[in-house]
Structures are given as C-alpha cells and as structure tokens.
Chains A and B, each alone.
Chain A
C-alpha cells in the first residue's frame, strides 16, 4: 500500500488533487481512498488531505501518519519542516517552489522534487490554483499513475474548457518538474509552526495562514475604530491611550477586511514573501 499526504491551503485544491489521484489509480485497476481532513478550514487555511493506493479495497480509515510521499501545493508551506514530518525513510517530497531540489532547506532522509506550480497555474489557468499544476509532476516522479489517467480523471471531473486548461497545466508540470534528488540537508531543523490542524483562530496561532499581512500607518489613522469593529477574528485590539489599533498577528489570517473597511486607507495589505 502506498500512502500520500497533501499539504495546501484552502482554495488551492488539495482535496481535489487527492481525489484526482485516487480516480486515476482506480482507472488503472488499483483500489484507492482519498480522505480530506476537515476542521474549520476555509480559503487560505493550511490543510491536509490523504490518499491510499492498494491492490485490494482499503479498509483502514485512520488518517495517514507515515506517508511514503508528501505533496506540497503552497510555496510558503513548502518551507516548513513539518511537511516531511514522519515521512517514511527514503520517502519522497514534491514541493511547489521556484527553488531547485538541491536548494531546498528541508532536512532528513528523503528525496526532493520541485516544480514551480504557482507560475504554471497563473500562466495556464490565470489563477494560483496549484493542484493540477503539480499533478503532472507527481505522475512523472512517482510513476504511480500515468499522466493519461490523470487527464482522464480531469475530463471526468471538469468537462469542457476548464478541463482542457487544467490538462495543459498537468502537461506543463510533467515537463518542468526537477528531481528527485536526495535531500541535501541531513538533520531536520527545529521549528514550532503547526501547519497540520485547523481549528478556531482564537485558540490557535494562525500566522502561517497569511498570504497578505495588514500594516497600519498610524499617521494616516483617524481612530474611527472601523477595523476593530469589522475584524472577523477579533485580532485587532484597541489601544485606548494612543487611540490606534494594535493587531495581534498570531490571530490574524490576513483576510484584508480591516484594510477594506478603513475609510482613509491607513491599512496596507503587504504580500508575504515566499
């Protein structure tokens, strides 16, 4: 049995990617199972999904804890050591990143392959939905499913032009994937960011969710409290002394509501560098 773990963000299509691989494996006469891990995930939240492929009906229904393969759809999440947590020795990680496999800083005994799926997705689909832009690479480096089977699964799931665009993304990622090579870093660096589980923002550090970070220009701020009222995560505290907002960044998911509501454009959403 082969076990695969997907890491992505809500909206990038990790669950769809897991299902497409399961369908492709089934098309080739294998049995498969695709388990999404649902909490309170939404657009932008780090999430995981799992696939099992076997030559008999899969009975186990626990989550995948020791994957053979880890697939990462998001370039920021791809920098977290957690994506290779509990990967089987000699396993494989496929990352969405501009870096060459040799430049990847993740440490341990596994092979690394990379593909710039975000660029492929932007150029073929016009949106950073990276799931299909990584599946071609997956087919090539794992050999678990043929790229034709993924195309067939795509046509079934997305008939028409949408399917054709995604097939173009699959084909390009099949061509452009680099690796796999043995990981250059041997020892796993320590890190504290939990990328696995969703959950309620009040209780958890969600700083890794952000693609954009709100920054307040206190000179422009007129102290109207609109941002404080509208923040859906109560991540903004009001400093009564200065009459200015103070953002609790570990509770901020970078949704941008505050910037949108600010009547004087005192809040700027700044892209987090990948």
Chain B
C-alpha cells in the first residue's frame, strides 16, 4: 500500500473518534481513504468536512478537549494555514495526532520546511522513512500523546510523493492486538497545575506568572523522550518491529568512525549508500533522526564520544540561519570536552532528488575531513 493508505489504516486501527481534514496535495488521498472508510462504516467515527485547515485544526482541538481521540492531516501551505490554532492545541496540552505529508514552499514538491516552520507551536515532531514506519509511528504517537505524563499533540511528518504515493509492502497489525496495546483515550479534565480552573480552557493559567505556561509546556515536551523510548520497547514486544530507540535509529554504526545524519525518506537511500560504502571498507554509518522535538541531545552526546565526525544532511533551511538539524546537533555537542568534526549538507530541497551516490559523496567528504583533509563547511548537494 502507499504511504497515505498506511496513514489512513493507522487511523482506523487506532479507532479514532473524530477526524477532520481539508484535502491538499500530497496529503489528499488520506482524506479520500478516510471518506471511503466512513462511507463503508468500517468503525464508528465522525469525519468532519471543513472549508480549510484552520477549521480542521479547530475541530480536532475542540473534540480532543472533550475527550475524543482525534486525527487530522495536511501538507505544506495547509500546515501554515493551521499555524494559529496549532498553538492552542499545544498550549491546551491536547493529545491530537496529525500526519504532515511534507510539501515545500517553493513549488509543490517535497522537503521538510513545512513542519520545520512549526517549531514554536508546542507539539512533538517526528520524521519517518517508509510506509510501515508511517503506520507504526502514528499508532505510537497516540500512545505517547495520550500518556497522562505527557498530554502533548504530536505531528508525524513524511515525505510527499516518494512516500505518500509510493506503493510498498506494509504489514497491518492485528486489530485485537492494537486494541489491547492502545486502549481508548482517557479524557482528562485538565492536565494543567492544580491551582488552575479547568473552565479557563488553558487561558490565563500559571498563577499570575505569564512566563510559567511556557516553562511547564517546555518541560512537558522534554518528557516525551523517556515515554517514546518506553513506547518503542512495548511496541516491539507486541508487534515485533522497532525503529531505534524512537528518538534516533542507527544503521551499521557498530564499526563506524563517522555518521551521516539524515531524516525522512532520504535516510532510506542513505542506508543503501552506507551498506555499499562499508562493503568497500569505508567506516561510515547512519543515524536517522526521528524525533526533532524533543531533540535527542543525550543520544548525540553518547555517539559523539565514539565518533570522529558527523555529516549532517538537512532537507530544509531557515534562510539566513542554516539547516535546523545541523544547528541542533552543534548545540548538543558544544559542552563536550572532545567534540567530533561536523560538516553541513543541504539536500533534497524543493523536491530535488537525493541519490545513493550523493550519500557516497557525503560519506567520502566526512571521512576525508576527519583525517585532516580540506572540505567546505557547507555543501549544497
């Protein structure tokens, strides 16, 4: 099945109670599949047709507020249109789960600039590689978001076209197993501190300190790390699949001197490249960055102790500022006594194809750089 069918199948398996979405390429077929499921009466849920993404986010926000398990999905410009109510969903600590089918701004092809632009909305952000991981990650997102320790909305991002429309084998978990592993969402009147009146709907809380809501929100999102790792373990126990520790997934890192860091579908292409390079005796592995928010600081610090260099590949850029993953990794490593060397790569922006030989070039550059060779700090692949 295609990536978008995998997403719709996850919604069905999770027995979502309220879904609302406005169609936009390359997300459109999720709404088609959900409409078909609704028409066929596959399970009891409401599918709310709306006139735009601002409304779809508001619908799931309100439904989540009264305790329903909810789902929405969008792409690129649709996500920007959702920006305002996403803040409310985040601040309200509502466990909404959203699929973001990546679409760039400069043209309609894929890159990660849509979800990357939503870092201030107070959601958990994950980036996944293939259709099976789309299905599995959405199920895990409900488990994490609805955990009483967390109550944070989560966005699962995956690349448009090359994943959303690409057909590949997907194993569909047994419904009874999912029901047992993911029990219905338990409505919570308020996740916020005791002194807050729940009837304020997450406005005006913080005991008079206007800064307090940000502190509480920040600290709550950081807790996702432990719960995601725990959820990955229990997911593997039940369904037999795992994606690293949830925060990152490593590939052929056992003997590696250097790591390529990549996100989303291009991490799959990077796996093929890494395998080829190690067969040629080149000691390069892959760290797939899955959770961008919260950021896996400790994982990168641990790997930095063992490695000579990181080649960090960003599929988005904040113009005038640089690649977001590169910036965060450099941030994570600053306090270490011995820091590995870093190279920054911009690849796959505007849907530009990233090929296996591109990753071989990236691997060669970082291997040369850690041996003292001269390399450009920034490379546009």
Contact = CB atoms under 8 A, between A and B. Distances in A.
Interface of A: 18-19, 22-23, 26, 31-36, 38, 57-63, 65
Nearest to A21: B167
Contacts of A60: 268-269, 272, 356
A35 B110 CA distance: 14
A35 B166 contact: yes
B266 A61 contact: yes
A26 B130 CA distance: 16
Nearest to B25: A38
Given A19-B167, A26-B169, 4 more contacts: A32-B168, A34-B166, A36-B165, A59-B130
Contacts of B130: 57, 59, 61
Nearest to A62: B355
B162 interface: yes
A33 B166 contact: yes
22 contacts: A18-B167, A19-B167, A22-B167, A22-B168, A26-B169, A31-B169, A32-B167, A32-B169, A36-B165, A36-B166, A57-B130, A57-B168, A57-B169, A59-B272, A60-B269, A61-B130, A61-B163, A61-B266, A61-B268, A61-B269, A62-B269, A62-B356
Contact of A35 (B162, B269, B355): B162
A61 B348 CA distance: 12
Contacts of B356: 60, 62
B345 interface: no
B161 interface: yes
Interface in B266-290: 266, 268-269, 271-272
Interface of B: 26, 130, 159, 161-163, 165-169, 265-266, 268-269, 271-272, 353-356
A32 B266 CA distance: 18
The 6 closest A-B pairs by CB, nearest first: A34-B167, A59-B268, A62-B355, A59-B271, A61-B265, A35-B166
B1 to A, nearest CB: 9
A265 to B, nearest CB: 37
A168 to B, nearest CB: 24
B162 A61 contact: yes
A207 to B, nearest CB: 24
Contacts of A63: 353
A24 B355 CA distance: 27
A32 to B, nearest CB: 7
Contacts of B353: 62-63
Nearest to B266: A61
A217 to B, nearest CB: 40
Contacts of A33: 166-168
A26 B170 CA distance: 10
B269 A59 contact: yes
Given A60-B356, A62-B355, A63-B353, A38 B165 contact: yes
A36 B355 CA distance: 17
A57 B356 CA distance: 16
Given A35-B162, A38-B161, A62 B167 contact: no
